[in-house]
Structure 1
Amino acid sequence: MYLVAIAWAYVALMMAAAEALSPQGTLFGAFVTLLLYGVLPLSLLLYILGTPGRRRRRRAAESAAEGNAGGHATARPAEGFAAEREEA
């Protein structure tokens, strides 16, 4: 995933450099090119592709907060039934 993002950033940077160094180009045009072809698409792509990892980390944190670090289901009595207590 990151290799594609690095390659895309390189291409966008080269496009911006070509725009800035062109006789008809401007620095503002290079900045807009870098922003619209590089920063915005890459940030959107990395956000979308990072969703499964964020979800996995959030579930792991919730599981650890509940005291269930192993990721297994907790043993709870069925609904409607009271837990039995042994009297000593």
Structure 2
Amino acid sequence: MYLVVIAWMYVVLMMSAAEATAVNGTVLGAIVTFVLYGLLPMGIVVYIMSTPARKRKIKAREAAEMAAAKTLQPSSIDPDAGGHATGAAENGSVPPVGKEP
């Protein structure tokens, strides 16, 4: 993939050089030619062609995070298995449903 990009950038560089050195050409025209025929399209092509690699990298990172989360927190221990009531219910500060304190 990168060989095609390098070859196309060479062609665009030669087009820009011809534009800059032509009798009725300008340096500004050469810059515009290089950007519009070279940098912009090749940037889009490289971005689109590297999408599968980015997706694989994201999935691998998510899998590593899931594996790290499983090793840090054992699944056999339930966080609510203490059997203790909350502090508010122990001292009677929570009124029964339908009754005022």
How would you bin the TM-score normalised by the shorter chain? Answer: 0.7 to 0.9
- Separation in structure 1 between the aligned mates of residue 50 and residue 19 of structure 2, nearest angstrom: 31
The 4+ residue runs of structure 1 with deviation greater than 4 A are none
Q: 1 or 2 for the larger relative contact order (CA 8 Å, sep ≥6)?
A: 1
- Residue in 1 that maps onto 2:48: 48
Please tell me whether Structure 1 or Structure 2 has the larger radius of gyration of its CA atoms.
2
Counterparts of residues 4-83 of structure 1 (less than 5 Å):
4-67=4-67
Specify the SS of the correspondent of 2:67: coil
- Separation in structure 1 between the aligned mates of residue 40 and residue 25 of structure 2, nearest angstrom: 21
Number of aligned positions between the proteins: 69
Gaps of 5+ in 1: 69-88
Letter of the structure 2 residue corresponding to residue 61 of structure 1? R
Gaps of 5+ in 2: 69-101
Query: What is the CA-CA distance between 1:3 and the residue it aligns to?
Result: 0.2
Give the TM-score, by structure 2 length: 0.66
Deviations 1:22-71 (A, max 9, x none): 01100000000000000000000000000000000000000001017xxx
Give the TM-score, by structure 1 length: 0.76
- Separation in structure 1 between the aligned mates of residue 58 and residue 37 of structure 2, nearest angstrom: 31
Specify the SS of the correspondent of 1:23: coil
- Separation in structure 2 between the aligned mates of residue 18 and residue 60 of structure 1, nearest angstrom: 46
